[in-house]
Copies of this chain bind each other. A is one copy, B any other.
Amino acid sequence: MATLLKGKEVAEALKQKLTVEVENLKQKGITPGLSIVIVGDRADSAAYIKGAVKRCTEIGIDCRVEELPGDMSQKDFIDDLHRLNNDPAVNGILIMRPLPSQISENAVKYEISPEKDVDCMSPVNVSKIMSGEDGGFAPCTPSAVMEILHHYGIEPEGKRVVVIGRSMVVGRPLSMMLLKEHATITVCHTKTRDLAEETRRAEILVAAAGKARMVKKDMVSKDAIVIDVGINFDEDGKMCGDVDFDEVNPVAGMITPVPGGVGAVTSTILAKHVIEACKVSSLKTMKFMCPKY
C-alpha cells in the first residue's frame, strides 16, 4: 500500500508556522485582514467559506465575509471592490466564483488590487506565475499541491511530472510552478491521444481533470507519487477524487486521499497568502513613514 500524504498533517504544520508569524505581527501592532466577498446566495460556497473563516481566525487573521446582493450591478460591485482595495485593514481579498451573470469576471480581474489578490484572479499575478517571478500569488489549490510536496520532502527537480488537466485554477498554473522547481512537465487533457501511456511515465502524477475516479491502476507506474486534486461526488453522493483510490493505492508509492488530501490544505494556504500580503504591505508602510527603514 502507498504511503498516505495527509493533507491535514500538512495543514497543521503550516498552521503552526503561520500562527507564530501572526503573533509576531501582532506584537508590532499589525493584524492581517482577509475579506471574503460573496455575491448572492451561493449554497455551494457556504462550506468552503465556513472552513476558510474558521481556519484563518484560528491563525489570528481578522476575517470578514462581505455578503453582497445577488442582483447588484457590475459598477456597484467594482465600487465595493475599490473600497476593499483602499481599505488598509484588508490585506487579502477573496472573491467567490462564479459571479452572477451580470458581473463579468473578465472586467473584475483587472480591478482587484494585485497586492491583495490572494487567489490569482489578477493578470498581474497570472503573469508572475507564468514567468516564475517571485512575489505573486498563485491560486490556492496548486499552491496546496506544492505545499504537500515540500512538506513531505518530495523534490520535483529533474522528475517527470504529468499533470492531467489544463484549467486556469489548477493545471496551467501548477505546470508553471513545477517548471519553476525544475520538473520536466507534461500537461495532458481530454484531447491527449493515449492518456495512460503518458501518465504511466509519471514519477509524480497530478490528477486535476474533475472527473470522478478516472485514474485507474493501469495508468500509474509502480511507486509513483499520486496527487489527487479532484473533488467529485459519486452516484451514491460520496465524495471522491479523480483517482480511483482503491485501485491505485496498491500500485502507487505515495498518494493523497480524498477527502483529507489537497482539499484539506487550501484554506491554510489562503491564510498563508493573506499573511504574505500583510507583510509586504506593512513593509511598504514602514518604508513610507521612515524611508531609511
Q: A179-B166, A193-B158 are in contact. Are A172 and B131 (CB under 8 A)?
A: yes
Copies of this chain assembled into the complex: 2
Q: Are B189 and A186 neighbours in the complex by a CB distance under 8 Å?
A: no
Mask: chain A, 110-145; 1 = CB below 8 Å from B; 0 = not: 100000000000011011111100000000000000
How far, in whole Å, are A131 and B189 apart by their CA atoms in the complex? Answer: 15
Q: In the complex, which residues 127-184 of chain A have their Cβ closer than 8 Å to any Cβ of chain B?
A: 127-131, 157-160, 166, 168, 172-173, 175-176, 179, 182, 184
Query: Does A36 touch B at the CB level, under 8 Å?
Result: no
Measured CB to CB, the nearest residue on chain B to A109 is B127
Interface size on A, residues (CB 8 A): 31
Bound-complex Cα distance A289 to B74 (A): 24
User: How long is the Cα–Cα vector from A172 to B177 in the complex, in angstroms?
Assistant: 12
Residue A93 at the chain B interface, CB threshold 8 Å: no
Min CB gap A46→B, angstroms: 28
Chain B residues in 8 Å Cβ range of A175: 175, 187
Can you list 7 A-B contacts with CB-CB less than 8 angstroms, sorted by A residue number? A130-B130, A160-B193, A179-B189, A182-B189, A184-B198, A185-B186, A186-B186
